Amino acid sequence: MIRLNEHYAKLKASYLFADIARRVTAYTQARPDRPVIRLGIGDVTEPLPPACIAALHAATDEMASRATFRGYGPEQGYAFLREAIAQHDFQARGAKIDPDEIFVSDGAKCDVGNIQEIFAPDLRIAIPDPVYPVYIDTNVMAGRTGPNVDGRYQGILYLDSTAANGYVPAPPAEPADLVYLCFPNNPTGAVATHAQLAAWVDYARRHSALLLFDAAYESFIRDPQIPHSIYEIDGARDVAIEFRSYSKVAGFTGLRCAYTVIPKTLTARDAAGAAQSVHALWNRRHSTKFNGVAYPVQRAAAAVYTAEGRQQTRALADFYLGNARLIREAMGRLGLKCVGGDNAPYIWVNTGRDSWEFFDLLLNKAQVVCTPGAGFGRCGEGHVRISAFNSRENVVAALARIAAAVK
Ligand SMILES: Cc1ncc(COP(=O)(O)O)c(C=O)c1O
């Protein structure tokens, strides 16, 4: 008899963005005369940088001729891209990462979701709250949690990110085996200092734990004191995996390219207690279940590292950060405390009231869509996330409407 994975039944029935879409649709159907501005979902709005488009076109032309056509490529990614990544994203920052420690993929979402399957089912997982929901849901699906009771899954060690700790949780007193960290953070926009990340690396080394460091928003860091990679911290090579994505740095949300770094020095214990290479196991998994990213897409990703590509992607992030600054300033004028937005495209606003109530207020009175913080976890209650991913025109119009609605 065919039966289902019963762990899926534990997943919370309603999905945050589906709930939002339902309320927005109900509003727009009731008031078609009042168009809404969406500052909710974390998708980019600006087109691909010209350097990436040129590389995409050239590589597509190569595919049109027998002499230059390419079929299956290496599952881990082409050397031209892995070498550029190692050099520009890591070695240039003093982080020792080799090209063969990089696995190119079609998205950080898949990688952060899939990585847990190479680890034991009965691990103790530590996950921040609020959080990018993929970390939690994939562990629920894998059976690593009990049921959801009062908004929290039993068995997970939640790391509260609140105003009290500046939205950067410190390592807990108790041990955990697998720790998810995300900086710059989605949804709070908070960044972690060198000392804060060093405390996590130290924790992982003391407890033989593994850090999963999601740096999907790395390109928005402007403060020179903030590390861009976990591997800028001494000792991180032995305890951390890092995830990066081209989605936000170069607008690849619709093109799809990302990568995961697994240093060869990283080990985990087998059932007999012997240290085994995590890199070797992920390589086995990756080459069994994945057949590589499209060649033109990898060429487009490699163009990010050319002189023009670097200048264009920097300008792209600066544009969104300009939106973020306007949003922060507008929230300040309304007397609302917020974090994020200076090294991240998200602004986390402390609304001082129920987060869905504030969401409804902005939708109904300002026709602006934000994301209620409660959807990202219990600690998100009382907050909303405002995204800087939009045109300048829309951001300016939305802020004027919010100012009129919230007094
Ligand atoms: C924290 C975080 N990690 C990963 C992703 C997914 O990135 P990708 O588009 O590469 O799948 C997102 C996308 O919004 C994100 O917010």
**Residue 354 · residue 340 · CB < 8 Å:** no
pLDDT tens digits along 280-334: 999 999 999 999 999 999 999 999 999 999 999 999 999 999 999 999 999 999 9
Would you say the CB of residue 186 lies under 6 angstroms from ligand 1?
yes
Q: Which residue has the tokens 């600066």?
A: 318
* 50-63 and 307-333 helices, crossing angle to 10°: 140
Query: Which atom belonging to ligand 1 lies closest to the Cα atom of 42?
Result: 14
Among 245, 256, 346, name the best residue to mutate to test ligand 1's pocket (greatest count of ligand atoms within 8 A of Cβ): 245
3-state secondary structure of 126: strand
Query: Which atom belonging to ligand 1 lies closest to the Cα atom of 248?
Result: 9
3-class DSSP string for 291-308? CCCCHHHHHHHHHHHCHH
Q: What is the pLDDT at residue 14?
A: 66
Compute the distance from residue 108 Cα to the ligand 1 centre, in Å.
Answer: 5
Mean per-residue pLDDT of the chain: 96
The model's confidence at residue 17, banded by pLDDT at 50, 70 and 90, is: confident
Per DSSP, the residues of 221-263 read ---TTS-SSGGGSTTGGGTEEEEEEHHHHS-GGGT--EEEE--
The model's confidence at residue 15, banded by pLDDT at 50, 70 and 90, is: confident
Would you say the CB of residue 229 lies under 6 angstroms from ligand 1?
no
**Residue 222 · residue 343 · CB < 8 Å:** yes
Would you say the CB of residue 258 lies under 6 angstroms from ligand 1?
yes
Among 48, 132, 135, 249, name the best residue to mutate to test ligand 1's pocket (greatest count of ligand atoms within 8 A of Cβ): 132
| pLDDT greater than 90 at residue 40 | no
Compute the distance from residue 248 Cα to the ligand 1 centre, in Å.
Answer: 8
The stretch 32-48 carries a mean pLDDT of 93
Would you say the CB of residue 42 lies under 6 angstroms from ligand 1?
yes
Would you say the CB of residue 107 lies under 6 angstroms from ligand 1?
yes
Would you say the CB of residue 387 lies under 6 angstroms from ligand 1?
no
Would you say the CB of residue 253 lies under 6 angstroms from ligand 1?
yes
Would you say the CB of residue 242 lies under 6 angstroms from ligand 1?
no
Would you say the CB of residue 216 lies under 6 angstroms from ligand 1?
yes
Q: Which residue's CA is the closest to the ligand 1 atom numbered 16?
A: 186
The stretch 188-196 carries a mean pLDDT of 98
Would you say the CB of residue 188 lies under 6 angstroms from ligand 1?
no
The stretch 199-204 carries a mean pLDDT of 98
3-state secondary structure of 329: helix
Q: What is the pLDDT at residue 13?
A: 64
| pLDDT greater than 80 at residue 98 | yes
pTM to 2 decimal places: 0.97
